[in-house]
Amino acid sequence: MATYSTEIAASGRAKCRGCERSIAKGELRLGETLMNPRVDRETTFWYHALCAAYKRPDAITTFLDEGGELPEAERLREIASVGEAHPRVARLHIAHVSPSARATCRACREIIARDDWRVSVVFFEDGYLNPAGYIHAGCVEAYAETTETAMDRMRHFSPDLSESDLAGIAEAVAG
């Protein structure tokens, strides 16, 4: 059974399990304490609140339902509700251009051509986000059964993309 807590990051050394970026010293972080089968003991996995809403919607909802308080709680709850209604949308991760034509789309089973936009897919398992392949940017709706919050997620988890890159992805997602 998971337990949840929040605290102010003491040092800035911890990395968010959602975006894999450091949680800055003094920043509020959400902890999810789970049994970690890799080390056979309980481990606390830390998240930025927004990353938790995107990647662990059930965790953020449970935390808020149990009386936990977070800034922008209603916005986080709205984002989490999309992930709960469409579980595959929480698997969408980083958008980027395919460097080769070796990956197969998990949605349509077609090869993702070199230089096409693709989105990496991750699964949450045992406290970790594990890579699980790619989908065409144009297959987001078919895979996730919605495009609601998809561009927000890709923008958040792909911070190095320019506005023109994001426009290209949005065009591909829209089909």
Whole-angstrom distance, CA of residue 90 vs CA of residue 124: 9
* pLDDT tens for each residue of 80-127: 999 999 999 999 999 999 999 999 999 999 999 999 999 999 999 888
| pTM (global) more than 0.85 | yes
Question: Strand 92-97 and strand 28-36: pairing?
Answer: unpaired
Domain with CATH 3.30.1740.10 in the chain: 3-85, 87-174
Band (pLDDT 50/70/90 cuts) for residue 141 is very high
Placement of tokens 């089973």 in the chain: 109
Is the pLDDT confidence value at 1 over 80?
no
> Looking at residues 158-170, what average pLDDT do you find?
94
- 56 contact partners, CB below 8 Å, separation of at least 6: 18, 32, 47, 90, 124
Rounded-to-5 percentages of helix, strand, coil across the chain: 35, 30, 35
Question: In terms of CATH, what superfamily is 3-85?
Answer: Zinc finger, PARP-type (3.30.1740.10)
- DSSP track, 101-125: S--BBTTT--B--TT-EEEEEEEEE
Cα separations (Å) of 25 from 10, 22, 28, 33, 44?
5, 9, 9, 20, 17
Neighbouring C-alpha atoms within 13 Å toward the C-beta of 77: 14
CATH of domain 87-174: 3.30.1740.10
Share of the chain above pLDDT 90, in %: 91
Whole-angstrom distance, CA of residue 59 vs CA of residue 3: 9
> Looking at residues 30-54, what average pLDDT do you find?
92
Cα separations (Å) of 111 from 17, 118, 125, 134?
29, 11, 26, 10
Is the pLDDT confidence value at 15 over 80?
yes
